[in-house]
């Protein structure tokens, strides 16, 4: 067994605000212990905790345009208990109902239908309880199916039309979660699996995966086309964009931009949004690392239905960052695609959706990323703000910081719990504080180091601290305690940005 796979299931306790340094010392001792165990067990397939492996998986997306358009999702997972004990249940994360409108999922364990129950560990998740214990080394097949429908009038959420739809690179596919417990494993997709897309025969299709290896087959009357696209962990979270589109193309920098619109458009009129998309993606790459799928081809696709096309109405972080009544006309839906609203002319591509971080951090790379706690839960939104800054200019940084500061009381009451919005704003500002304290170069290097070191095994605040301490050779834990142990934000940080003249300075992040 390789050391990397051994550590993939290790989950350390979450950040203890009152005892950070002791927990990190314990972590070091545990690390030495685990390293010794790994050395002794090298080459042996020995399970050290509860867990399972997804041996094989296949996800099918079928779009049915009439009589009412629906999107049918079916996932088939061949699972093997590779842990050290029988399992009685499996935890799943279903799509969020604020973003997706869907019927109750159907679940089968082999040929037995099962019910879903809320998870006692996380109300956002559901639990599948097996009719019989899942014994060690045995294999079973899990079937999950769900049908997406258009939201009712007045409801927000992802919408589509009879001639176009998209599923963004986050949240639409039910996710299998790791087992809970020390040295637990599970939830990581296999190295290669198939995404199958079934759409009307005259639809254009753009998906995640290895397009060069995809295969297509038309139905007997050519009314439906079936496309099989191999996926790997490098492709990130799967996405599907399809419809009856008019195509055009242009070049922006080193990127070839494909324009998919509902009616013919002047390609040159979309040059500025194309260049903005390139800058936004470059900013995202600078935060999370280069796109796993960097083919120098991008897509700008017109929304099938503007209402419900963007996440700003369902994202609490977006609400904090955006101005009141601010409208969104574009948003990244995948690593290489922006969905746009062309009803008001050329769109403004100002930011990536915070949820897009799933492709850099989550699917097949860091299981359980979406269960992060503050402040790391704000990292995707911070990266989205970085993208906005790259597009609109450096002045946006100070504007966003001041907007977030308004959400945090100036004189917070000690020992009083902070509201959810305050904690979200504070978590976002924590990353700006890290930038100011250590500089943009150190910030990017430390973040990249953390993601590379913990890829495949998840990460927490201890990992972030360790990465920054490696880069700075300073006691970063003290800085974290100053921000996260006390209510509000540090006074010097607030003063820096509430002073208009000072906030116009570019601070340490632009220093060489």
For residues 424-430, give the mean pLDDT.
95
pLDDT, residue 456, reads: 56
Strands 70-80 and 112-114: unpaired
pLDDT, residue 366, reads: 53
Tokens in use for 202?
């005259």
Q: How confident is the model at residue 287 (pLDDT cuts 50, 70, 90)?
A: low
Q: How confident is the model at residue 455 (pLDDT cuts 50, 70, 90)?
A: low
Using CA atoms, how far apart are residues 150 and 185, in angstroms rounded to an integer? 36
Using CA atoms, how far apart are residues 167 and 172, in angstroms rounded to an integer? 7
Give yes or no for a contact between 69 and 160, defined as CB atoms under 8 angstroms apart.
Answer: yes
Using CA atoms, how far apart are residues 437 and 53, in angstroms rounded to an integer? 42
Whether residue 141 is predicted with pLDDT greater than 50 in this model: the reply is yes
Q: What is the pLDDT of residues 331-344, one digit of tens each?
A: 888 878 888 999 88
Q: How confident is the model at residue 467 (pLDDT cuts 50, 70, 90)?
A: very high
Better-predicted residue by pLDDT, 34 or 195:
195
Whether residue 2 is predicted with pLDDT greater than 50 in this model: the reply is no
SS3 125: coil
Whether residue 17 is predicted with pLDDT greater than 70 in this model: the reply is no
Whether residue 295 is predicted with pLDDT greater than 70 in this model: the reply is no
Give yes or no for a contact between 300 and 338, defined as CB atoms under 8 angstroms apart.
Answer: yes
Residue by residue, DSSP assigns 150-190 as: PPPTT--S---BTTEEEE-SSSSS-EEPPPPSTT----PPP
Q: Is this structure's pTM higher than 0.85? A: no
Tokens in use for 483?
């921000």
Across the beta sheet with 126-134, what order do the strands follow? 116-118, 126-134, 87-93, 175-176
Whether residue 496 is predicted with pLDDT greater than 70 in this model: the reply is yes
Residues 6+ apart with CB under 8 A from 122: 91, 371
For residues 429-449, give the mean pLDDT.
93
Using CA atoms, how far apart are residues 221 and 246, in angstroms rounded to an integer? 23
pLDDT, residue 451, reads: 76
For residues 378-382, give the mean pLDDT.
83
Whether residue 404 is predicted with pLDDT greater than 60 in this model: the reply is yes
Using CA atoms, how far apart are residues 429 and 489, in angstroms rounded to an integer? 8
Mean pLDDT lowest among 171-185, 248-262, 279-293, 362-376: 362-376
The pLDDT mean for the chain works out to 81
pLDDT, residue 98, reads: 84
Sign of CA pseudo-dihedral 205, 337, 93, 57: positive
Q: What is the pLDDT of residues 75-92, one digit of tens each?
A: 999 999 999 999 999 999
Q: How confident is the model at residue 8 (pLDDT cuts 50, 70, 90)?
A: very low
Tokens in use for 177?
């979660």
SS3 263: coil
Mean pLDDT lowest among 425-434, 465-474, 491-500: 491-500
User: Cis (ω within 30 of 0) for the bond into 410?
Assistant: no
Tokens in use for 140?
């079973």
With vertex at residue 375, the alpha carbon angle to CA 370 and CA 378, rounded to the nearest 5 degrees, is 55
């Amino acid at each position: 067994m390789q050391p990397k796979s051994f550590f993939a299931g290790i989950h350390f306790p979450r950040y203890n605000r009152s005892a950070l340094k002791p927990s990190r010392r314990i972590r070091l001792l545990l690390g030495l212990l685990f390293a010794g165990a790994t050395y002794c067990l090298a080459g042996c397939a020995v399970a050290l905790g509860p867990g399972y492996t997804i041996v094989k998986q296949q996800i099918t997306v079928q779009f049915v345009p009439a009589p009412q358009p629906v999107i049918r999702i079916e996932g088939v997972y061949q699972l093997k208990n590779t842990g050290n004990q029988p399992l009685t249940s499996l935890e799943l994360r279903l799509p969020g109902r604020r973003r997706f409108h869907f019927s109750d999922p159907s679940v089968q364990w082999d040929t037995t239908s099962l019910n879903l129950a809320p998870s006692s560990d996380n109300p956002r998740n559901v639990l599948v309880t097996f009719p019989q214990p899942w014994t060690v080394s045995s294999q079973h097949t899990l079937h999950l199916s769900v049908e997406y429908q258009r939201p009712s009038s007045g409801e927000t959420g992802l919408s589509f039309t009879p001639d176009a739809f998209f599923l963004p690179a986050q949240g639409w596919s039910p996710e299998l979660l790791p087992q809970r417990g020390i040295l637990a494993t599970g939830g990581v997709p296999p190295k290669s699996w198939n995404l199958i897309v079934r759409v009307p025969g005259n639809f254009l299709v753009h998906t995640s995966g290895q397009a060069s290896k995809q295969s297509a087959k038309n139905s007997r009357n050519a009314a439906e086309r079936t496309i099989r696209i191999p996926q790997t962990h490098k492709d990130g979270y799967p996405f599907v964009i399809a419809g009856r589109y008019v195509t055009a193309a242009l070049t922006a920098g080193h990127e070839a931009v494909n324009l998919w619109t509902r009616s013919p458009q002047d390609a040159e009129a979309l040059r500025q949004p194309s260049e903005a998309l390139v800058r936004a993606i470059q900013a995202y790459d600078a935060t999370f690392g280069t796109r796993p799928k960097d083919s120098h081809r991008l897509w700008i696709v017109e929304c099938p239905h503007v209402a419900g096309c963007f996440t700003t109405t369902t994202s609490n972080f977006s609400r904090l960052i955006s101005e009141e009544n601010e409208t969104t006309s574009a948003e990244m839906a995948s690593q290489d695609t922006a969905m746009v609203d062309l009803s008001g002319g050329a769109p403004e591509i100002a930011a990536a959706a915070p949820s897009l971080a799933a492709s850099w951090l989550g699917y097949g790379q860091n299981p359980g990323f979406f269960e992060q706690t503050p402040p790391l839960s704000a990292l995707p939104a911070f990266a989205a703000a970085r993208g906005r800054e790259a597009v609109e200019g450096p002045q946006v940084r100070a504007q966003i910081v001041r907007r977030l500061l308004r959400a945090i009381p100036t004189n917070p009451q000690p020992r009083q719990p902070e509201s959810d919005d305050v904690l979200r704003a504070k978590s976002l500002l924590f990353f700006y504080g890290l930038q100011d304290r250590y500089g943009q170069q150190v910030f990017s290097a430390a973040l990249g180091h953390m993601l590379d070191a913990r890829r495949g095994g998840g990460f927490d605040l201890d990992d972030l601290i360790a990465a920054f301490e490696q880069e700075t050779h300073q006691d970063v834990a003290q800085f974290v305690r100053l921000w996260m142990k006390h209510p509000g934000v540090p006074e010097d940080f607030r003063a820096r940005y509430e002073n208009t003249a000072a906030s116009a300075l570019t601070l340490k992040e632009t220093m060489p």
